[in-house]
């Protein structure tokens, strides 16, 4: 799998190597840094005041008007709690640290066509418990990524009615969870049964590691100078190299897990002088061949991870005096698991499948104070409700809120 990543990197280096060395090189740095502090509230209980930091830095290296190399560094630190979907459901995290570096090479072949090649690496640390050290988290991961993309413009200049921008591309990435391994693969218990022998031999060890092939296409259509429509479709194939399929008796087969993810997004945005309004809708279909076996209740659940989800995302951004910006947004998501049965508080299974509705609303205000420095405040509220009452493994019913105040610098 790593050969594919290094192949993308080799293409990037070779393409850069053949650039004309006599061209005037121009470097344009772009940066955005946010330093915020705030509090998180889960079910009404507040956490201690903590800090968040977000860093973006990209020195754009233009070799000519048609070619550019863009190294991009992104760093994120969150010291506040949050409920994040990690592996199959909502999990409470206390601290997050992200670092990623991406190299993008772009070449303009004509006024209407350009191509891109990219390669990158990301490392994320997730802390779940107070006594856990950052960097020792069960769901810490690193990701290698490579990709290619082409963009074609039809219909003339920006803002002209009928102009269409089409992007197509392919990404390949490898996800690795170095601190996570199957508990059964580490077991020292010896049971002289054929069932345990089969389980221990086929359970796998690096069960969360996977590689992904992703194809995407996106179209932007200008209705007029102020209104742009968007539609995109992504399809991903995830191959778990060491996670085998759970069978109806709780044992493991020799077949490996693989998932297909389909994502369709469409919407429209209108940009006026004093405000921007947008609404988008995303429909996701997650299809996995993995099953689940609840040994405590001897319950076999086929296609445990399959679901359909619909997200509606309206937003409003107001351009105020002195370049201040006020943004309101709302995200309502409805998810229905196709074959994951709901449970009561004690874990007893019911006949209905799990459904979950999540409402998230937020606002932010950015006020420039000196040159590129701004004061930024942000807050959001999330409420999740579900017909599933058993939450020993994942959170399905919760409400959270947070607020942040700090400084933002753009260059």
Any domain includes 102: yes
* Beta strands 299-301; 90-93: pairing state: unpaired
Residues 33-57: b if buried by 16+ CB within 10 A, e if exposed:
bbbbbbebbbeeeeeeebebbbbee
Any domain includes 294: no
Any domain includes 213: no
Any domain includes 171: no
Which of 108, 140, 172 is the endpoint of a domain? 140
Which of 140, 165, 198 is the endpoint of a domain? 140
Note down the domain range covering 363. Answer: 320-330+338-411
Helix (H, G, I), strand (E, B) or coil at 308: strand
The pLDDT tens digits along the chain (411 residues) read 445 545 555 554 555 445 554 457 899 999 999 999 988 888 777 776 788 899 999 999 999 989 999 999 999 998 877 777 766 666 777 788 999 999 999 999 998 999 999 999 999 998 877 778 888 888 889 999 999 999 999 987 766 788 999 999 999 999 998 887 654 444 444 333 333 334 444 566 788 899 999 999 999 999 998 999 999 999 999 999 889 999 998 888 889 999 999 999 999 999 998 999 999 999 999 999 999 888 888 899 999 999 999 999 999 999 998 889 999 999 999 999 999 999 999 999 999 999 999 999 999 999 999 989 999 999 999 999 999 999 887 788 989 898 999 999 998
Cβ 340 vs Cβ 352: under 8 Å: no
DSSP-derived letter for residue 389 is -
How many distinct structural domains can be found in the chain? 2
Any domain includes 288: no
Any domain includes 232: no
Any domain includes 114: yes
Alpha carbons 308 and 286: distance in angstroms, whole number: 6
Any domain includes 101: yes
Which of 87, 105, 140 is the endpoint of a domain? 140
């Amino acid at each position: 799998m790593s050969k594919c990543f290094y192949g993308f990197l080799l293409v990037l280096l070779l393409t850069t190597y053949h650039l004309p060395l006599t061209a005037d090189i121009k470097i344009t740095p772009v940066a955005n840094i946010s330093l915020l502090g705030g509090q998180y509230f889960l079910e009404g209980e507040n956490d201690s005041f903590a800090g968040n930091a977000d860093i973006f830095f990209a020195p754009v290296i233009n070799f000519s008007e048609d070619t550019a190399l863009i190294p991009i560094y992104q760093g994120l630190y969150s010291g506040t709690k949050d409920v994040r979907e990690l592996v199959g459901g909502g999990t409470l995290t206390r601290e997050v640290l992200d670092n990623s570096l991406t190299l993008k090479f772009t070449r303009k072949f004509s006024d209407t066509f350009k191509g891109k090649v990219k390669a990158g690496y990301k490392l994320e640390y997730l802390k779940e418990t107070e006594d856990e050290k950052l960097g020792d988290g069960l769901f810490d991961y690193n990701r290698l990524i490579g990709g290619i993309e082409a963009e074609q413009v039809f219909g003339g200049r920006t803002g002209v009615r009928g102009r269409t921008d089409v992007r197509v591309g392919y990404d390949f990435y490898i996800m690795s969870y170095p601190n996570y391994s199957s508990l059964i693969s580490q077991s020292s218990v010896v049971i002289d049964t054929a069932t345990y022998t089969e389980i221990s031999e086929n359970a796998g060890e690096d069960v969360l590691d996977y590689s992904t092939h992703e194809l995407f296409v996106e179209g932007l259509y200008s209705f007029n100078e102020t209104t742009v429509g968007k539609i995109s479709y992504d399809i991903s194939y995830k191959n778990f190299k060491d996670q085998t399929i759970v069978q109806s008796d709780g044992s493991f087969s020799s077949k490996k897990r693989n998932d297909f993810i389909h994502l369709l997004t469409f919407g429209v945005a209108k940009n006026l002088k004093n405000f921007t309004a947008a609404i988008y809708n995303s429909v996701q279909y997650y299809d996995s061949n993995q099953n689940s076996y609840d040994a405590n209740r001897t319950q076999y659940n086929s296609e445990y991870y399959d679901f359909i989800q619909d997200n509606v995302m309206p937003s409003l951004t107001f351009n105020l005096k002195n370049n201040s910006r006020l943004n309101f947004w709302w995200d309502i998501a409805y998810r229905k698991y196709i074959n994951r049965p709901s449970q009561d508080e004690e874990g007893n299974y019911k006949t209905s499948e799990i459904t979950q509705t999540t409402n998230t609303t937020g606002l932010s205000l950015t006020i420039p104070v000196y040159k590129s420095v701004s004061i930024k405040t942000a807050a959001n509220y999330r409420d999740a409700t579900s017909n599933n009452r058993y939450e020993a493994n994942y959170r399905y019913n919760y409400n959270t809120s947070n607020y942040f105040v700090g400084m933002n610098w753009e260059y």
